[in-house]
Structure 1
Amino acid sequence: MAPDLPDFKKINAAVEAAGQVRGRHFTEWVPHLDELRKQRRDDESLTLLLEIIAAAERAAAIKTMDPPPGYTKRAAVIYRRQRDHLAEVAILERYLRACPPGRGDTTVSERLAKAKQLADTA
């Protein structure tokens, strides 16, 4: 049975509220993240990405969906560039835990396997 309209509006409002980062929806931060990446301001990027990842996870949990993997992948790239393989493993595992069972972006799983190898040899 489909939810009635008031329930749908409540769910959308909850998703919108959960997805807020510094007063903006997490999807609105992509141009700023692109600029930070271009300027190689990795520490600022990571701080913002961790906030965005948390917001995306909250919003996805309400809708019982996978969070968007792109933000996690951006953070993983920065951690690998910094040679912080344990942090890379942790952020990738966090994404997979946030996904409903049996779901998730397969490229995250592939990257996780490589990050674990790097962490083991470090």
Structure 2
Amino acid sequence: MFAIVEAPSGGLVGCCGVDDWTGEDVAQFGYWIALPARGRGYATRAVVQMTRWLFGHGAARVVLRIVADNHGSAAVARRAGFEHEGTMRDHGVWDGRRCDVMVFAALATEWA
């Protein structure tokens, strides 16, 4: 788990961490930004930095799974350079209800 902090104060604004790392070197991570800090670019910068870190540690593919109604998080994935690969219908549960989940991915061979 990594803290996402505000510069220069060092105040905590969110976190991110690896959720899964397969034997095929596919890594998945998640992130969260506190409501008052949203819209300031923290999530996009954290996703880019986390992805670089994962590729630097041998990941061949990095995946983000995002609840389909979370348009802000989907925009973060796109800004960070992830490709939307599809939507899995009724794949997850959020707030006690079944939901569709979007899959975004970045490949080490394509990462700039």
TM-score interval for Structure 1 and Structure 2 normalised by the shorter chain: 0.3 to 0.5
**TM-score, normalised by the number of residues in structure 2:** 0.36
**TM-score, normalised by the number of residues in structure 1:** 0.34
Higher-Rg member (1/2): 1
Structure holding more helix per residue: 1
Structure holding more strand per residue: 2
